[in-house]
Every structure is written in structure tokens, then in C-alpha cells.
């Protein structure tokens, strides 16, 4: 059973109990729902505040705070792939050259050994590491 708040055309408000929504629609269509105050059969359902709230379309977005990290990583890798010059194993020397103004600064990508990474950090060179997706033919260790 469900209960609806109903209102007649005269503005009388009353409760109606029904088997389900279909039963309500059916009885209303056949004029079987009558206002207990004035016997008016022109009855409509009043949306309760809860029902009004539910009527707002549900957001299709992902819940707040949920980030698809795998996708994000893929997009970052893709971006770097297209916008950064691949200098391969020359990464550290190129980065240092840029750092000291020997060559013009540009976006580069490449590979660095742990030792080279340490050197770059010591020199204060900004760089970041990306986990390359498995199966990337350019993967260098
Ligand atoms: Zn009425």
C-alpha cells in the first residue's frame, strides 16, 4: 500500500491509500477518487517535499572525490608523449643544460637512472616521473 496526499479542485487536501501507483491512476481516471469534503472527483496528487526532491534529475557525474587514476595517468602519458621532445637517455644532460641556460628551455622526456635522478634533484632541476603503461615500446629501464 502507498499513501498519497491528494487535493481536489476546491483545494481540499486529504490522504488516499492505494495498492500502487497504477491503482491510483486507474481509480482517478475512472473518477473513483472523491474528495471527502465536497465529493469533487477532480483530484490531483500533491507532491510531498521528498517527492519533489526526487524529481530533480540525478547527477550522472561520478561521486565527488572519485578520480579515475588509471585514466588520468593514461591521459598524462599521452599528453607528455605528444608535447614533450623525446631525448631518451640524454634526458639528464639535456635537463641540466636547460637548467644552466646552455640550451633553451623546452619540454623534454626521456629516461634517467637512479643516480641521474639523484643528481637532478641535487641540482634543483624540476622533473617528474611517469609510470609508463605496460607494453609501451618506448619503455626504457
Ligand atoms: Zn474538495
Ordered DSSP codes for 67-124: --HHHHHHHHHHHHHHHSEEEETTHHHHHHHHHTTSS----EEE---HHHHHHHHHTT
User: 6 C-alpha to center of ligand 1: Å?
Assistant: 10
User: 52 C-alpha to center of ligand 1: Å?
Assistant: 23
* The pLDDT of residue 12: 95
Grid cell in block for residue 131: 609510470
Strands 108-110 and 43-46: unpaired
> Which strand (E) or helix (H) includes residue 74?
helix 69-83
| Widest distance between CA atoms in the chain | 93
DSSP state, residue 63: P
Q: What phi and psi values does residue 13 have, to the nearest 5 degrees?
A: -110, 135
User: 16 C-alpha to center of ligand 1: Å?
Assistant: 13
Q: pTM to 2 decimals?
A: 0.44
User: 121 C-alpha to center of ligand 1: Å?
Assistant: 81
Cα torsion 85, 134, 122, 119 to 10°: value is -80
* The pLDDT of residue 61: 53
Give the C-alpha separation, 124 to 112, whole Å: 15
Placement of cell 617528474 in the chain: 128
Give per-residue pLDDT as tens, 90-133: 999 999 998 888 888 889 999 889 999 999 999 998 888 876 65
User: 44 C-alpha to center of ligand 1: Å?
Assistant: 11
User: 29 C-alpha to center of ligand 1: Å?
Assistant: 17
Q: What phi and psi values does residue 9 have, to the nearest 5 degrees?
A: -65, -15
* The pLDDT of residue 34: 95
Beta bridge partners of 16: 4
Cα torsion 10, 11, 17, 19 to 10°: value is 70
Amino acid at each position: 500500500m502507498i499513501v498519497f496526499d491528494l487535493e481536489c479542485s476546491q483545494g481540499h487536501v486529504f490522504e488516499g491509500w492505494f495498492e500502487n501507483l497504477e491503482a491510483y491512476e486507474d481509480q482517478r481516471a475512472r473518477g473513483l477518487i472523491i474528495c471527502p469534503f465536497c465529493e469533487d472527483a477532480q483530484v490531483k496528487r500533491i507532491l510531498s517535499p521528498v517527492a519533489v526532491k526526487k524529481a530533480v534529475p540525478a547527477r550522472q557525474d561520478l561521486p565527488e572525490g572519485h578520480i579515475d587514476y588509471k585514466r588520468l595517468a593514461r591521459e598524462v602519458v599521452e599528453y607528455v608523449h605528444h608535447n614533450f621532445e623525446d631525448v631518451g637517455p640524454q634526458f639528464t644532460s639535456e635537463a641540466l643544460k636547460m637548467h644552466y641556460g646552455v640550451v633553451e628551455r623546452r619540454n623534454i622526456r626521456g629516461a634517467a637512472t637512479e643516480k641521474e635522478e639523484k643528481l637532478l634533484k641535487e641540482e634543483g632541476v624540476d622533473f617528474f616521473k611517469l609510470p609508463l603503461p605496460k607494453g609501451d615500446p618506448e619503455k626504457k629501464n
